[in-house]
């Protein structure tokens, strides 16, 4: 399967979880992949080695999404290394939750910096290089649309903001033949939300399928949106949530 042969992708937060699965999937479809991380240098290097073993190029980049200059530099490093950029996956995110009294303004600012401002800066920078057929895929969340539990004042606000930004960017870039869409995961087994965690039974109870998703489930939807097959989707959201939000 070489649907993405010759394409260059940048995946933010590609060292673990959904981002790592996405980096590996895009590479398996033929793309060269740059992946950012903030702390997990070793894990990012491991993902890069697995990509290279599969026959495409890989570039791990340390770039803190909370720092706009580092985000911008990561995009430019991708273009410098691979000569182009075709696919941007805004995946890095912080899962900031808690009761109102346990959350402060610093939590709010950090979450918006990573989950909302960084995707804006990434796309603004990448848009200078993206060509016809370019793809932007934002990773949202099921709780960006519906919020069935307390504790999500900040996190849900960031993901709802990303829905609006996805639509606005789809308008902004659509005339250039660049699509912007979103994949919104439901409960997905990662370090941020382990299938064995304290909330697991409650979360799976809300799904139609009665189970946690795997990072690979989300990666498959990203790969579809990145492909030529998805050329007529703009500003759309694919919910990969086991039916959590139906």
Pick the binder of ligand NDP from 97, 188, 204, 239 (CB under 6 A).
188
Based on the residue annotation, tell me whether 37 is a catalytic residue of this protein.
no
Q: Does 119 bind ligand NDP (CB under 6 A)?
A: no
Of the pair 125, 193, the CB lying nearest ligand NDP is at: 193
Pick the binder of ligand NDP from 17, 60, 119, 134 (CB under 6 A).
17
CA dist., res. 122 & res. 71, Å (int): 6
C-alpha separations of 62 from 13, 45, 94, 96 in Å: 10, 11, 16, 22
- Using the contact rule CB under 6 A, the part of the chain among 45-53, 164-172, 191-199, 221-229 near ligand NDP is 191-199
Q: Does 16 bind ligand NDP (CB under 6 A)?
A: yes
CA dist., res. 222 & res. 224, Å (int): 5
Work out the angle between the directed axes of helices 68-82 and 118-126 (0-180°, nearest 10): 30
Task: For 144-176, give the DSSP string.
Answer: GT---SSS-HHHHHHHHHHHHHHHHHHHHHHTT
Pick the binder of ligand NDP from 10, 27, 48, 64 (CB under 6 A).
64
Of the pair 133, 236, the CB lying nearest ligand NDP is at: 236
Of the pair 82, 152, the CB lying nearest ligand NDP is at: 152
Q: Does 237 bind ligand NDP (CB under 6 A)?
A: no
For 53, the token pair is: 């073993």
| 208 in Cβ contact with 154 (< 8 Å) | no
For 101, the token pair is: 């009294």
Collapse the DSSP code of 58 into the 3-class scheme (helix H, G, I; strand E, B; otherwise coil) and give the result.
strand
Taking the complex as a whole, the smallest distance from the CB of residue 33 to ligand NDP amounts, in Å, to 13
Residues near ligand NDP (CB under 6 A) are 12-19, 36-40, 43, 64-66, 91-95, 114, 139, 141-142, 185, 187-188, 190-193
């Amino acid at each position: 399967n070489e649907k993405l042969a010759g394409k260059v992708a940048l995946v933010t937060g590609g060292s673990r979880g959904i981002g790592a699965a996405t980096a590996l999937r895009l590479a398996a479809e033929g793309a060269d992949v740059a992946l950012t991380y903030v702390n997990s240098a070793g894990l990012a290097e491991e993902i890069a080695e697995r990509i290279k073993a599969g026959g495409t190029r890989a570039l791990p980049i340390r770039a803190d999404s909370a720092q706009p200059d580092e985000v911008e530099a990561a995009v430019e490093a991708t273009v410098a290394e691979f000569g182009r950029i075709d696919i941007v996956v805004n995946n890095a995110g912080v899962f900031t939750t808690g009761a109102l009294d346990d959350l402060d303004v610093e939590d709010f600012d950090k979450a918006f910096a990573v989950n909302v401002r960084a995707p804006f800066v990434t796309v603004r920078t990448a848009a200078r290089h993206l060509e016809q057929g370019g793809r932007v895929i934002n990773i949202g969340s099921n709780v960006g649309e519906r919020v069935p539990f307390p504790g999500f004042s900040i996190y849900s606000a960031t993901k709802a903001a990303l829905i609006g930004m996805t639509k606005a960017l789809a308008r902004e870039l659509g005339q250039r033949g660049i699509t912007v869409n979103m994949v919104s995961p439901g409960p997905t087994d990662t370090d941020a939300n382990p299938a064995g965690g304290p909330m697991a039974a409650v979360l799976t109870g809300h799904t139609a399928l009665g189970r946690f998703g795997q990072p690979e489930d989300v990666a498959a939807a990203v790969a579809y949106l990145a492909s030529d097959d998805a050329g007529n989707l703009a500003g759309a959201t694919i919910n990969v949530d086991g039916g959590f939000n139906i």
